[in-house]
């Protein structure tokens, strides 16, 4: 089920309003309590119910990290995130899938889709460093995406229709398990090594390129 534009944009705005620096270390219960105290929990529940469970969990979890600062090479809320580190962390925490570390590797390991077919939880890529697929974010609906943009900035939601992003759009991708949501299950990340887990989850394009485990998980 596709996420309604009104619901997801409201989710983005209300979570921004709840905290200028979100609560990445808080549990789901803590976040729900904060939203309930402000009378907003009912609206977030609508978001959770309007999309598939995995996509809803991914998007709502990502919104909980709004305001975390950018950190080159960063993988956690404590250190900060770079763009691909943020995407990788959200997929691992929310769905249990481990993606490759770098943006261009994430593009190679995922399924190409048309921009018009974007659904919440899909990946969007941009050319921001004069090379293809040098930036990545998570699509949240209504032409908007959440990402960790650059040094000095924080995790935030922006519109893909902005001139800067529109002119640098490189393509959209869907993670294999997202393409088969509800029919494909994944082994929790902690039960296997990261290279073994990702190579099992990645689509055939990853295997066809014969990328080594060292290349895929370069940090």
The question of whether 16 is a catalytic residue gets the answer no
d(CA 23, CA 59) in angstroms, rounded, equals: 15
d(CA 205, CA 87) in angstroms, rounded, equals: 20
Give the single-character DSSP code of 28: H
Is residue 140 helix, strand or coil?
strand
104 Cβ neighbours under 8 A, 6+ residues apart:
131, 132, 133, 134
Pick the catalytic residue from 16, 21, 53, 147.
147
The question of whether 135 is a catalytic residue gets the answer yes
CB atoms within 10 A of CB 97: 23
Cα atoms in the 13 Å half-sphere on the side-chain side of 146:
30
Pick the catalytic residue from 16, 21, 53, 135.
135
Active site residues: 83, 135, 147
């Amino acid at each position: 089920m596709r996420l309604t534009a009104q619901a997801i944009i409201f989710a983005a705005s209300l979570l921004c309003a709840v905290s200028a620096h979100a609560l990445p270390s808080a549990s789901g219960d803590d976040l729900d309590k904060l939203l309930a105290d402000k009378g907003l929990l009912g609206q977030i529940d609508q978001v959770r119910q309007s999309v598939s469970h995995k996509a809803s969990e991914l998007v709502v979890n990502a919104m909980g990290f709004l305001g975390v600062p950018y950190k080159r090479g960063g993988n956690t809320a404590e250190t900060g995130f770079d763009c691909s580190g943020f995407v990788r962390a959200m997929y691992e925490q929310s769905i249990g899938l481990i993606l490759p570390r770098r943006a261009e590797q994430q593009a190679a390991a995922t399924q190409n889709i048309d921009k018009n077919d974007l659904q919440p939880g899909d990946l969007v890529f941009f050319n921001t460093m004069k090379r293809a697929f040098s930036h990545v974010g998570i699509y949240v609906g209504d032409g908007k995406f959440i990402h960790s943009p650059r040094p000095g900035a924080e995790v935030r939601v922006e519109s893909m229709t902005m001139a800067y992003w529109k002119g640098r759009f490189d393509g959209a991708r869907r993670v294999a398990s997202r393409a088969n949501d509800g029919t494909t299950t994944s082994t929790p990340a902690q039960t296997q090594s990261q290279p073994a887990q990702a190579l099992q989850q990645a689509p055939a394009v990853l295997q066809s390129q014969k990328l080594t485990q060292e290349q895929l998980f370069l940090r």
